[in-house]
Amino acid sequence: MLKSSKRVVMLGDCQSFYASVEKAEHPQYKDRPMVVAGDPERRSGIVLAACPIAKSKGITTAERLGEAVAKCPDLVVIKPRMQRYIDVSMLITDIYKSYTDLVEPYSIDEQFLDVTGSMHLFADTPEEMAQIIQAHVQAATGVYTRFGIAETKILAKTACDNYAKKNSSGIYTLTKEMLPETLWKRPVSDMFMSGSRMTRHFNVMGLPTIGSVAQTPLGKLKQMMRRKFGKNSDIQAEMYWRIANGIDDSPVRPGTHQVAPKSVGHMMTLPFDYREFDHILTPLLEL
Ligand SMILES: [Mg+2]
């Protein structure tokens, strides 16, 4: 449990978001494998989202619809409705805002909540608070949410991606004290902001785990990175060192749609080549 003097930050993530919205609105498909995919009439479309049942049959996001149907002949294929997903995302923001005014949308299906000041109104513990919000979103939208809980945004995101998404309650608290026994043991590829290129560099530098980055003194890490990237890499070195150590003072900023740095790989698979401005606008706004 987090100590009372610390901030209580949550990252709420929607499971299989587009597919979950469609399932909620098509209850007849509740127990069927379903994907949201561009142009269901043609096999050349791309899978944008797969429900958990479809995923259990080996279907993955961004694969070709024809391949998905081959794996699972009774697959239900639904055409994407971006505007509807944006509306539901905003409805979920409103639900979060009934628990705290500090809600920051991070992507269409992920939002940060700072509940430090309001938790006592709703629950005794952060985990209980997350359960209440999870049940509220489920009842209102049919979407299942997972919550990473921590003192900082980066640790909340880490708690969600690496732990909450994989446990049965969908809720996980990660404290700084737990880092050596949990996150630090993981490969550096699991570190927030470490893409495949940076992961390779860390491995070459002899830093294969998140803990090995965290425990390298900052000055030494800067030197090691300068040898590879020149002296302009000091800022990058400090950023990775802070991430590995769970150091992050950035506040949850209500109303901001944070533009993720390039290396996070913020992308969206589109159902077809967009040529009209109106078509392009919706996914652009989403990103
Ligand atoms: Mg998600």
Confidence (pTM):
0.81
Q: How confident is the model at residue 261 (pLDDT cuts 50, 70, 90)?
A: very low
Identify the active-site residue in 22, 104, 110, 151.
110
In this predicted structure, what is the pLDDT of residue 259? 43
Mean pLDDT of 78-84: 91
Note the Cα 133 to chain centre separation in Å: 17
Distance 215 CA to ligand 1 centre (A): 31
The residues near 180 (Cβ < 8 Å, ≥ 6 apart) are: 211
pLDDT band at 255 (very low <50, low <70, confident <90, very high): confident
Active site residue 67: no
**Mean pLDDT computed over every residue of the chain:** 88
| Interval 186-214 mean pLDDT | 93
| Per-residue tokens: 137 | 């979103």
- pLDDT of res. 114: 97
- State the distance from the centre of ligand 1 to the C-alpha of 134, rounded, in angstroms: 14
- Calculate how far, in angstroms, residue 136's C-alpha sits from the geometric centre of ligand 1: 17
Q: Distance (Å, rounded) from C-alpha 246 to C-alpha 255?
A: 24
Distance 25 CA to ligand 1 centre (A): 18
CA of 14 from ligand 1 middle (Å) equals 4
Positive or negative CA dihedral for 282, 112, 30, 27? negative
Ligand 1 mean position, distance from CA 107 (Å): 9
277, pLDDT greater than 60? no
Domains recognised in the chain with CATH numbers: 1-174+266-287 (3.30.70.270), 185-245 (1.10.150.20)
The proportion of the chain whose per-residue pLDDT surpasses 70, expressed as a percent, equals: 86
Mean pLDDT in residue range 258-282:
51
Q: Is the pLDDT of residue 82 over 70?
A: yes
How many angstroms is it from 255 CA to the middle of ligand 1?
Answer: 20
Give the lowest-confidence range in 87-91, 103-107, 111-115, 191-195.
Answer: 191-195
91 C-alpha to ligand 1 centroid (Å): 16
Share of the chain above pLDDT 90, in %: 72
pLDDT at 263: 44
pLDDT band at 194 (very low <50, low <70, confident <90, very high): confident
Q: What is the DSSP letter of 271?
A: S
Residue 104 has pLDDT above 80, yes or no: yes
Containing H/E element for 14?
strand 9-14
Are 119 and 6 in contact, with CB atoms under 8 Å apart?
Answer: no
Three-class HEC string of 23-36: HHHCHHHCCCCEEE
- The upper half-sphere exposure of residue 67, i.e. CA atoms within 13 Å in the direction of its Cβ, equals 9
Give the confidence band of 262 by pLDDT, cuts at 50, 70, 90: very low
Residue 192 confidence (pLDDT) = 86
Q: What is the mean pLDDT of residues 229-248?
A: 92
47 vs 263 pLDDT, higher one: 47
- pLDDT reported for residue 33: 96
The residue with greater pLDDT, 254 or 275, is 254
List the single range of 32-41, 66-75, 109-118, 224-233 with lowest mean pLDDT. Answer: 32-41
